[in-house]
C-alpha cells in the first residue's frame, strides 16, 4: 500500500478537493483506495456523503493498533473506502502525544490494512504540528496543492525546508490548484514556480465552478461533470502520480 | 447468493421497492471469469471478472477488503494489456507469461436495487439476475431460473443483513458464492483450472504394468489438454507443459523396460521422440523471447535499441517455428500417435506379460529411481574442467530423468521428504539449465549474426551490440560452468543419499 497525504501548511488551497478527486481517479484506475479524513471539519466525509463520526472518538481510534478497520465505510465510488472524521479529531495532537511513538502512530494504525488497499490517501488539516509529523512518518508522498500566488509558494518553501531537516522524509509532489489563467499573476507564478521546482506535477487544476459544485452534488467532479476541464485535470494528475508510484508498470 | 422460490424476479424487485430500495431498469449483462489455463488467479485467491453491460469493466476481487474496478477498452489477454498501475502490479507477478482465458461466461438480465440513507448514500445493494445462460453451453439442466446477490458494503453490515432477512422472508434460499459460482457449478465447470500434476495415486503393492499405464495416461491427458493452446500459440506455457508431458512420457517409457510390452514401448518411444523433437525449436525460441529483456537490459539502453532488429528476427523465427509445430500437431502422424496410444492405455484387455510387469510398483519404481540417481552421480563425478559442454547437457538430461521419475511415481511417497529431495536436485538442475540456455542462445546468436550481416536495417551498431550480447551470454555460460563443480559437490553428498533414501522409505498418506 502506498500512503499519500494531501497536505499543506496553508488552509484553503484545495487539499480536500484534491484528496476526494484523486481518490475517485485512483479508484477508477483500478486501485483499492482508502481515504482517511483527518480534518475535524470532515469535508471529505461530507463529499462522500458519509456521516462524520469517529465511533468511540479519536482517542479510542488512536490507542489501539488494528482499530482502523472497524471505522472503514464504503463510498459510492467503486474501489474507494473512507475512514470518516469528526470534531473529536481537533484533539488529535493531544491523543498522539499520549502514545509511545507519536510520529509513527498513524503508520502503525495503517499497517494492518497494508495488503487490503493499494493506496491510502490522508486528507490532512492545515497546520504543522505533531499530527503533521505523524503524517510525514506514514506517507510515501505528500501531495501539496499550491495556488499560484506568492503566499502559497512561500508555504511550500517552509514545508520543504522543514522536511529537509527530517530523516526519511516523504517525497513532495506539489501541484497547482485554483489556477486562473486569465490572471497575469497566476501565469507568471506558474512559470516561475514550475522553473524553480522541477518536482511540480504538470497537470494543473483550474479554478472552476464544477469544483465549487462538489459541495452541492456531494460527489467528486468526474462523477457529475466528467467532461469538464477540472475533471480532466484530476484525471491527468492521478495518471502522473501513478506513473511515479508504479513506474515499472 | 439466493435462489429458488415460487416468486418471479419481478415479485422480488417489487418487494424490494416496497422496502424502500431504488430499483433500476433491467440491463443485459455479460460476466466472464478470466484466469490462466492452470488457474493461477484462483490458486492465489484472486478473481478477475470482465463485466460488459454494455461498457467493459474489469473487476478484481480477493486479497483485500473490496474489489478493484477499472474500465477497459478491450478484454485483456496478457499482463501487459492490463491497465497500468496497481491493478497490473497485483496481477502481473501471478500471471507471469501466461495468458488470460475465459473460464466461464454468464449472460443474464440484471436488475439492481439500492437502499440509500437520508444523504443519498448507498447502504446495501441487491442484484437480481434472470434469463441466465452459460455461453457456449446449451441446455444446462441445473441452471436456476434466476438468482439474487446481496452486495455488502464496508461499514454497512446491518443494512446487508436487513436485505438478506428480507429475501429470506420472501422464501428465497440462501447459498454460497455469487451468480458465477452458481452457474459454473450447474454447468460442471471447475473454476480451479487445469492442474496438470504428473503425480497419480498409486499403491506400492499394485502390479507395475497397471501403475505405468495410469502414469502414462495421466501424462497423455496433459498433452491433450495443452494441445489447443499450443496450436493457437496462446502463451508459451502451453507448449512448455505439452513438451514436459512428452518428455515425462519418454522418460517413463524408457524406464518401462521389462514392464511394458517391448513392441509397444519401442514404437511409442520412437513416436514420442519425434514429437519431442518437433517441439524443441519453438520452445528454444520461446525461452529466448522470454529471457530477452534480462539478456539485453544489463547492456544498457543504447545496446538494447540497437538490438531491436535481432529481437524482431527472433520473433519472426519464433512465429515460423510455431507455425511448423502447429502443422506437426495437426498432422496425421500426431493424430495416429495419440489415438493409438490412448487406445492402448485405455484397453482393459492389456495383460501383464512377464518381466517386471507383474512386480510390485513400489519395488520397480525404487529400482528405477536408484539407477537414475547412480547414473546422474556417475556422470557428474566424471566431469572435469576440460570436459566438453555436451557432457553437461547429458547430465542435465540425467537430472531431468530422475526428477520425472520422482514426480510421476510420486504417488508412492510422502510429499515432505520428496519435496526436500527435489529441492536438492533442483539446485543442480538450475545451474545446468542456466548453462544450457546460455550455450544454446549464444550459438543461436552467432548464427543470427551470420544471417543478418549485411541485410537492410542492420547497421554497425546492431552488429557491435550483437557482439556484446554474445560475450555477455558467453560470460553467463562460463559463470554457470565455473559454479558447476561447487553445485555438484553440494549435491553429491551423504545428505543427498540419505534424503533420497528417506523418500523411498516414506509411505504416501491415506489420501493416496
Contact B372, B267 (CB under 8 A): no
B274 CB burial (10 A radius; 0-12, 13-18, 19+): middle
Residue appearing with cell numbers 540497437: B306
Give me the numbers of helices (H) and strands (E) for chain B, helices first please: 16, 10
What pLDDT sits at residue B8? Answer: 87
| Contacts (Cβ under 8 Å, ≥6 apart) of B293 | none
**What is the rounded average pLDDT of the residues A79-95?**
88
Pairing of strands A119-123, B68-71: unpaired
Domains of chain B, residue spans: 2-187, 208-347+361-504
B2-187: CATH topology is Hypothetical Protein Pfu-838710-001 (2.40.320)
Contacts with A, B 118-147, CB within 8 Å: 119-122
Q: What is the mean pLDDT of chain B?
A: 91
Domain B208-347+361-504 architecture: Alpha solenoid (1.40)
Confidence check: pLDDT of B512 > 60: no
When scoring A22, A30, A84 by the number of chain B Cβ atoms within 10 A, the one with the most, hence best to mutate, is A30
Residue of chain B with shortest Cα separation from A1: B86
- pLDDT-based confidence at residue A248 (cuts at 50, 70, 90): low
Judge whether A62 and A36 are in contact, CB under 8 Å.
no
Q: Is B157 on the interface with A (CB under 8 A)?
A: no
Across residues A135-160, what is the average pLDDT? 90
Does residue B275 or residue B135 have the better pLDDT?
Answer: B275
pLDDT, position B111? 96
The pLDDT of residue B261 is above 50: yes
Whether residue B55 lies within 8 A of chain A, CB to CB, comes out as no
Q: B147 with B1: CB under 8 angstroms?
A: yes
Q: Do B92 and A81 touch (CB under 8 A)?
A: no
Q: Does the structure show a pLDDT above 90 at B143?
A: no
Tell me what the mean pLDDT of segment A169-188 comes to.
91
Cis peptide, bond prior to residue B54, ω within 30 of zero: yes
Q: Is B269 exposed, middle or buried (0-12, 13-18, 19+ CB in 10 A)?
A: middle
Q: What is the mean pLDDT of chain A?
A: 90
Of B65, B66, B85, the CB nearest to A246: B85
Q: B2 or B395, which is more confident? A: B395
The DSSP 8-state label assigned to residue B3 in this structure reads: E
- Give mean pLDDT, residues B216-220: 97
The angle that helices B494-505 and B361-381 make with each other, rounded to 10 degrees, is 170
Q: Are the Cβ atoms of A49 and B120 closer than 8 angstroms?
A: yes
Residue from B62, B152, B154, B160 to probe the interface with A (highest A Cβ count within 10 Å):
B154
Given this model, what pLDDT does residue A196 score? 85
Assess contact for A122 and A83: CB atoms under 8 A. no
| Of the listed ranges A22-36, B7-21, B131-145, B231-245, the one predicted with least confidence | B131-145
| pLDDT(A172) > 70 | yes
B81 touches chain A (CB under 8 A): no
Report the percentage of chain A scoring pLDDT > 90.
55
How many contacts (CB atoms, under 8 Å) link A and B? 95
Q: What is the pLDDT of residue B489?
A: 95
Contacts of B92 (CB under 8 A, 6+ apart): A249, B79, B80, B82
**What is the distance in angstroms between the Cα of B69 and the nearest Cα belonging to chain A?**
5
Residue B302 burial by CB count (10 A; 0-12/13-18/19+): exposed, middle or buried?
exposed
Q: What percent of chain B has pLDDT over 90?
A: 68
Q: Is the pLDDT of residue A91 over 90?
A: no
CA distances from B92 to A247, B83, B100 (A): 14, 11, 11
Tell me, what's the pLDDT at B200?
A: 92
pLDDT digits (tens, 9 = 90+) for B78-127: 999 898 888 999 999 999 999 999 999 999 999 999 999 999 999 999 99
Does residue B39 belong to the interface with chain A, where contact is any CB pair within 8 Å?
Answer: no
Q: What is the pLDDT of residue A154?
A: 86
CB contact under 8 A, A74 and B154: yes
* For range B145-164, the mean pLDDT: 93
Residue A102 scores a pLDDT above 90: no
C-alpha cell at B183: 452457474
Which is more confident, B380 or A126?
Answer: B380
Q: How confident is the model at residue B74 (pLDDT cuts 50, 70, 90)?
A: confident
Amino acid at each position: 500500500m502506498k500512503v499519500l497525504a494531501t497536505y499543506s501548511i496553508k488552509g484553503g488551497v484545495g487539499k480536500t478537493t484534491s484528496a476526494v478527486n484523486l481518490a475517485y481517479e485512483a479508484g477508477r484506475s483500478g486501485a483499492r483506495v482508502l481515504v482517511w479524513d483527518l480534518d475535524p471539519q470532515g469535508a471529505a466525509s461530507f463529499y462522500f456523503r458519509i456521516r462524520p463520526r469517529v465511533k468511540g472518538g479519536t482517542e479510542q481510534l488512536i490507542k489501539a493498533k488494528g482499530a482502523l478497520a472497524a471505522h472503514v465505510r464504503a463510498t459510492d465510488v467503486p474501489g474507494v473506502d473512507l475512514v470518516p472524521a469528526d470534531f473529536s479529531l481537533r484533539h488529535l495532537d493531544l491523543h498522539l502525544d499520549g502514545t509511545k511513538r507519536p510520529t509513527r502512530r498513524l503508520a502503525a494504525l495503517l499497517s494492518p490494512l497494508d495488503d487490503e488497499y493499494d493506496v491510502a490517501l490522508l486528507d490532512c488539516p492545515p497546520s504543522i504540528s505533531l499530527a503533521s509529523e505523524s503524517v510525514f512518518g506514514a506517507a510515501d508522498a505528500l501531495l501539496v496543492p499550491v495556488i499560484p500566488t506568492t503566499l502559497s509558494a512561500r508555504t511550500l518553501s517552509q514545508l520543504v525546508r522543514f522536511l529537509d531537516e527530517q530523516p526519511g522524509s516523504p517525497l513532495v509532489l506539489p501541484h497547482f490548484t485554483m489556477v486562473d489563467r486569465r490572471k497575469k499573476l497566476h501565469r507568471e507564478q506558474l512559470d516561475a514556480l514550475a522553473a524553480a521546482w522541477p518536482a511540480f506535477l504538470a497537470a494543473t487544476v483550474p479554478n472552476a465552478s464544477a469544483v465549487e459544485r462538489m459541495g452541492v452534488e456531494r460527489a467528486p467532479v468526474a462523477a457529475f461533470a466528467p467532461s469538464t476541464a477540472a475533471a480532466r485535470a484530476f484525471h491527468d494528475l492521478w495518471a502522473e502520480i501513478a506513473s511515479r508510484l508504479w513506474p515499472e508498470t | 447468493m439466493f435462489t429458488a422460490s415460487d416468486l418471479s424476479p419481478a415479485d422480488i424487485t417489487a418487494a424490494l421497492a416496497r422496502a424502500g430500495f431504488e430499483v433500476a431498469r433491467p440491463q443485459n449483462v455479460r460476466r466472464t471469469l478470466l484466469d490462466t489455463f492452470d488457474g493461477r488467479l484462483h490458486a492465489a485467491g484472486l478473481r478477475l471478472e470482465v463485466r460488459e453491460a454494455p461498457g467493459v469493466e474489469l473487476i478484481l476481487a480477493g486479497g483485500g477488503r473490496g474489489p478493484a474496478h477499472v474500465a477497459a477498452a478491450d478484454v485483456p489477454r496478457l499482463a501487459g494489456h492490463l491497465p497500468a498501475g496497481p491493478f497490473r502490479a497485483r496481477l502481473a507477478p501471478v500471471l507471469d507469461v501466461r495468458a488470460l482465458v475465459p473460464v466461464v461466461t454468464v449472460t443474464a438480465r440484471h436488475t439492481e436495487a439500492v437502499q440509500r440513507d437520508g444523504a443519498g448514500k448507498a447502504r446495501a445493494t441487491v442484484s437480481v439476475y434472470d434469463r441466465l445462460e452459460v455461453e457456449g453451453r446449451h441446455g444446462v439442466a441445473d441452471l436456476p431460473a434466476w438468482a439474487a446477490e446481496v452486495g455488502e458494503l464496508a461499514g454497512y453490515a446491518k443494512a446487508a443483513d436487513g436485505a438478506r432477512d428480507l429475501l429470506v422472508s420472501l422464501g428465497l434460499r440462501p447459498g454460497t458464492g455469487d451468480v458465477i459460482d452458481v452457474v459454473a457449478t450447474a454447468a460442471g465447470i471447475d473454476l480451479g483450472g487445469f492442474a496438470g500434476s504428473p503425480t497419480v495415486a498409486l499403491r506400492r503393492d499394485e502390479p507395475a504394468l497397471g501403475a505405468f499405464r495410469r502414469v502414462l495416461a495421466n501424462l497423455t491427458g496433459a498433452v491433450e489438454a495443452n494441445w489447443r493452446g499450443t496450436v493457437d500459440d496462446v502463451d508459451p506455457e502451453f507448449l512448455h507443459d505439452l513438451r514436459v508431458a512428452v518428455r515425462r512420457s519418454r522418460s517413463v517409457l524408457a524406464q518401462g523396460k521389462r514392464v511394458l510390452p517391448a513392441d509397444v514401448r519401442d514404437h511409442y518411444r520412437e513416436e514420442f521422440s519425434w514429437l519431442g523433437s518437433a517441439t524443441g525449436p519453438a520452445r528454444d525460441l520461446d525461452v529466448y523471447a522470454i529471457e530477452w529483456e534480462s539478456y539485453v537490459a544489463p547492456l544498457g539502453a543504447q545496446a538494447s535499441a540497437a538490438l531491436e532488429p535481432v529481437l524482431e528476427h527472433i520473433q519472426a523465427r519464433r512465429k515460423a517455428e510455431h507455425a511448423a509445430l502447429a502443422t506437426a500437431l495437426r498432422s496425421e502422424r500426431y493424430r495416429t500417435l495419440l489415438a493409438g496410444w490412448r487406445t492402448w492405455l485405455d484397453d482393459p484387455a492389456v495383460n501383464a506379460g512377464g518381466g517386471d510387469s507383474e512386480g510390485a510398483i513400489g519395488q520397480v519404481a525404487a529400482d528405477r529411481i536408484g539407477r537414475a540417481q547412480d547414473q546422474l552421480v556417475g556422470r557428474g563425478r566424471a566431469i572435469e574442467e576440460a570436459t566438453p559442454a555436451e557432457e553437461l547437457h547429458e547430465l542435465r538430461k540425467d537430472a531431468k530423468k530422475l526428477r520425472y521419475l520422482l514426480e510421476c511415481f510420486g504417488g508412492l511417497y510422502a510429499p515432505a521428504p520428496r519435496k526436500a529431495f527435489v529441492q536438492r536436485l533442483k539446485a543442480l538442475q538450475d545451474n545446468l539449465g542456466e548453462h544450457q540456455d546460455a550455450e544454446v542462445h549464444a550459438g543461436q546468436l552467432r548464427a543470427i549474426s551470420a544471417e543478418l550481416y549485411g541485410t537492410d536495417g542492420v547497421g554497425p551498431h546492431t552488429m557491435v551490440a550483437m557482439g556484446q550480447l554474445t560475450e555477455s551470454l558467453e560470460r553467463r555460460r562460463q559463470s554457470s560452468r565455473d559454479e558447476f563443480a561447487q553445485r555438484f559437490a553440494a549435491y553429491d553428498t551423504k545428505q543427498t543419499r540419505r534424503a533420497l533414501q528417506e523418500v523411498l522409505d516414506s509411505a504416501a498418506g491415506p489420501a493416496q
